[in-house]
């Protein structure tokens, strides 16, 4: 079934209709080679096995075969999750360990997603854009080409209320570390958001904003461009 992920109502419908999943990993000390596994995956032999499956089915398997199992340990990282993580092997970008990228996102070539970054459903990341360490791009957030989203910065997501427009960051914008772009705000092409700023209203193209709330402090000049230029070698 197709969903329009630019529409918050469609995202909500996708989440509602998605199969909820609680995957678990289980280390088993015991002889279970002749036990019926059903849909559970088994990686092991002899007296040691590693199982992967849905929590409910795995729990039933462990209970039904307790006489064959000496001990076990269960690991899990989610409960009734509606949105899987994206298949990063299908993305032509650089994605570093520890990034959390949910399904139904668009990431263009030469983008860089650093450690600990979080990108939520419906987000769009443009060509050559870097999402730095621990930065967040919320649901439906849009980052244009050649953007740098600094470490710890937040581009707020918009699912509720559905009447809100998503954040839109146009091409060649630099957003400093720990800055926050609030729901529905648009930042114009080539502008700079100073570190730690909170942007509560639209920012025109070609300006520098700073503060809480962020205000225009100057236009982007040659000195600003020199201080904020991105390095193409990081995007190869």
Residue 17: φ, ψ to 5°: -90, -10
| H/E run at residue 224 | helix 222-228
Domains in the chain: ranges and CATH: 23-76 (3.30.70.250), 94-229 (2.160.10.10)
For residue 231, what are the contacts with CB-CB under 8 A and spacing of at least 6?
Answer: none
Residue with the bigger pLDDT between 7 and 210: it is 210
Whole-number Å distance between alpha carbons of 202 and 107: 24
What mean pLDDT, rounded, does the chain reach? 91
**DSSP string covering 88-142, please?**
GGG--SEE-TT-EEBSS-EE-TT-EE-TT-EE-TT-EE-TT-EE-TT-EE-TT-E
Our CA angle for 156, 99, 51, nearest 5°, is: 125
Let me know the angle formed at the C-alpha of 193 by 153 and 150, rounded to the nearest 5 degrees. Answer: 30
133: pLDDT strictly greater than 90: yes
Per-residue pLDDT of 14-54, as tens digits, reads 888 888 999 999 999 999 988 999 999 999 888 999 999 99
Q: Is pLDDT above 90 for 5?
A: no
In tens, the pLDDT along 212-229 reads 999 999 998 877 776 676
Predicted pLDDT of residue 14: 84
Q: What is the pTM of this model?
A: 0.82
């Amino acid at each position: 079934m197709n969903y329009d992920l630019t529409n918050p109502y469609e995202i909500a419908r996708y989440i509602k209709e998605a199969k909820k999943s609680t995957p678990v990993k289980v280390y088993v000390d015991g002889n279970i080679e002749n036990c019926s596994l059903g849909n559970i995956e088994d990686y092991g032999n002899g007296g040691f096995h590693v199982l992967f499956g849905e929590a409910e089915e795995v729990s039933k398997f462990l209970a039904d075969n307790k006489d064959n199992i000496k001990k076990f340990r269960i690991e899990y990282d989610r409960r009734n999750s509606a949105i899987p993580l994206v298949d990063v092997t299908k993305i032509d970008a650089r994605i570093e360990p520890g990034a959390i990228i949910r399904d139904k996102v668009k990431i263009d070539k030469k983008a860089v997603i650093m450690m600990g970054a979080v990108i939520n459903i419906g987000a769009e990341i443009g060509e050559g854009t870097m999402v730095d360490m621990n930065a967040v791009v919320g649901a439906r957030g849009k980052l244009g080409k050649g953007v740098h989203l600094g470490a710890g910065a937040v581009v707020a997501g918009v699912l509720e209320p559905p009447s809100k427009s998503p954040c839109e960051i146009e091409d060649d914008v630099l957003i400093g570390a720990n800055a926050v772009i609030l729901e529905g705000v648009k930042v114009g092409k080539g502008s700079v958001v100073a570190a730690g700023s909170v942007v509560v209203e639209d920012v025109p193209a070609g300006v520098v904003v700073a503060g809480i709330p962020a205000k225009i402090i100057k236009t982007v000049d040659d000195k600003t461009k020199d201080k904020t230029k991105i390095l193409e070698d990081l995007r190869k």
